[in-house]
Amino acid sequence: MRTVKFPPRCVVQLFAALTFGMPNKAAAEGPQAGPPNIVVMLADDMGYGELQCLNPKRGRIPTPQLDAIAASGMIFTDAHSGSSVCTPTRYGLMTGRYAWRTRLQSGVLTGGESLIADDRLTLAKLLKQQGYHTAIVGKWHLGMLFDGKHIPGKVPVGSVVTHGPIDRGGFDEFHGFHHARQIETWIDNNEVMATIKPVDMLPRLTEAAVTYIDSRAKNDAPFFLYVPWSSPHSPVVPSPEWQGRSGLNAHADFVMQTDDSFGQVVAALKRNKQLDNTLIICSSDNGTSAPTSKMEQLQAKGHFPSGDLRGSKADIWDGGHRVPFLVSWPKVVQAGSECEGLVCLTDAIATVADVLNVKLPENSAEDSLSFLPALKRETDHHARTTVIHHSVAGYFSIRHNNWKLSLCPDSGGWTAPKPSAAKWAKRRADNQPLVQLIDMSADIGERNNLAKLQPKRVAELQTMLKIYVMLGRSNIGARQQNDAEIVIYKEPQARKKQAGQKLN
């Protein structure tokens, strides 16, 4: 088996300098003339530990492009997706609102009406109001109708799309597909245009993203490009030229190819002289999928996709939702900087509004807080002190500063021990807690449950969660209504009642 050797930090910094230009060691002076272009790139099922820059000791997959993006700007080491699975995270990114405030209380959508209400402000709608041209290239996964119907499988070419990125997201352009089970369906704007092979999806998305950037080169209007990649989510289909490159397995090869796609977008920005005043955010929708990545196989070879975190995709543990979060903006963000403060993908819309000096309406972005002061290194105080987590099965967790309370005694997802009515009943009979209280500053692996020792802190965090649910928001503003009744405390159902249920 081929052994991969990783370059020292100085080589990564040199690679970043060649890509982005020489880093500005001093604090940035602030935005240059004109609003920045904004590019948000979102990997699919890429855990915190997949990136070399975040997991140098326990990572074995080369990610030179993402490492260069990190070196060119700021790494957020305590960033979280809004959920440990796909649809709810994407809803939060687009709207600045936790998806559990909607009808989606667990799992993901497989089609049908959009989760985004027709009158809901989105990141694209906000930017269009400010004169931006907006485009999405990639995976939508927020509901979609074809010729007015929900079609769960193959979609006929020529079908008209509604409840998609154009009419509900507010984008000017859409090129991509709905979700993984329809990865063979290629859509341009509001029409299904072709059937393609899954292995061709990532290269085609990459080409479309680069083409879009090239098309804006001679246009004075700023643009917003959202690129939710199809990978390394299943089907795990690296292109032939990437197969075997990692020396680990197909998932690792696909991570390497995804990393290269991130780099191609950055290269297009540089080639068109747009890089310096482009705000680039790179992240992932949730942790790595243990089944499709063959996580045990990877770990046996020395690669740990969740790094030192416990759990993976779908779980309430941090391996399910702590994600890579890199921000590059050469004119503003100091190269090689790092932020340890809490941040959530829901924060994108408040941050963009802050960048553009726009006041958000009271009934929008209810769970969004700006991290622009952190990017500009204006203060050591971080706006976000609390974040609410949600697992695939709908179990809640609340993190406040270093303390994390999970309202289940297990993973809340797919990792053993999984939620079980019988196991919960036994814990109750043995007078064992049905919650987990973790000091994340001392126990990042979430192994030492302090709930029995600190009942007062458990009660305080439970109260805090109830208040944020009741208020319909977790930032400052007028009280808002949730779209559905929120069940905070859940118990697993007997196994026979879950037969045949597929959550993702």
Q: pLDDT per residue over 318-361, tens digit each?
A: 999 999 999 999 999 999 999 999 999 999 999 999 999 999 99
- pLDDT attached to residue 333: 96
In whole angstroms, what is the distance from residue 99 CA to residue 40 CA? 19
Q: Is the pLDDT of residue 231 over 90?
A: yes
In whole angstroms, what is the distance from residue 413 CA to residue 306 CA? 15
What's the predicted TM-score (pTM) here?
0.92
Confidence class for position 465, pLDDT limits 50, 70, 90: very high
The fraction of the chain above a pLDDT of 90, given in percent, is: 89
User: What would the mean pLDDT of 297-301 be, rounded to a whole number?
Assistant: 98
Q: What is the pLDDT of residues 423-460, one digit of tens each?
A: 999 999 999 999 999 999 999 999 999 999 999 999 99
The H-assigned helical ranges of 96-173 are 123-129
Confidence class for position 7, pLDDT limits 50, 70, 90: very low
In CATH, what is the architecture of 36-381?
A: 3-Layer(aba) Sandwich (3.40)
Question: What does DSSP say about strands 223-228 and 37-43: parallel, antiparallel, or unpaired?
Answer: parallel
Q: Is the pLDDT of residue 399 over 70?
A: yes
| Segment holding 225, helix H or strand E | strand 223-228
In whole angstroms, what is the distance from residue 110 CA to residue 31 CA? 41
Q: Is the pLDDT of residue 65 over 80?
A: yes
In whole angstroms, what is the distance from residue 461 CA to residue 446 CA? 17
Closest CA to 51 of 313, 282, 344, 318: 282
Give bridge partners of residue 280 from the DSSP assignment.
39, 328
The fraction of the chain above a pLDDT of 70, given in percent, is: 91
Confidence class for position 27, pLDDT limits 50, 70, 90: very low
In whole angstroms, what is the distance from residue 315 CA to residue 50 CA? 17
Nearest 5 degrees, angle CA 210-CA 36-CA 48? 65
- pLDDT attached to residue 18: 53
Q: Where are the domains of the chain?
A: 36-381, 388-498
- pLDDT attached to residue 497: 43
User: What would the mean pLDDT of 387-399 be, rounded to a whole number?
Assistant: 98
Residue 235: asked if its preceding bond is cis (omega within 30°), the reply is: yes
- pLDDT attached to residue 218: 87
Torsion over CA: 119, 120, 122, 126 (sign): positive
DSSP secondary structure code for residue 169 in this structure: I
In whole angstroms, what is the distance from residue 451 CA to residue 40 CA? 38
- pLDDT attached to residue 31: 38
- pLDDT attached to residue 102: 98
Lowest mean pLDDT across 63-67, 158-162, 375-379, 474-478: 375-379
What mean pLDDT is reported for the chain? 92
In whole angstroms, what is the distance from residue 324 CA to residue 44 CA? 11
Q: Is the pLDDT of residue 182 over 50?
A: yes
User: What would the mean pLDDT of 8-18 be, rounded to a whole number?
Assistant: 51
- pLDDT attached to residue 5: 38
Closest CA to 236 of 314, 165, 297: 297
Lowest mean pLDDT across 24-33, 47-56, 360-369, 480-489: 24-33
In whole angstroms, what is the distance from residue 28 CA to residue 355 CA? 14
In whole angstroms, what is the distance from residue 85 CA to residue 115 CA? 15
User: What would the mean pLDDT of 296-310 be, rounded to a whole number?
Assistant: 98
The Cα-based distances of 502 to 52, 106, 139, 299 in angstroms read 33, 11, 20, 26
- 388-498 sits in which CATH class? alpha beta
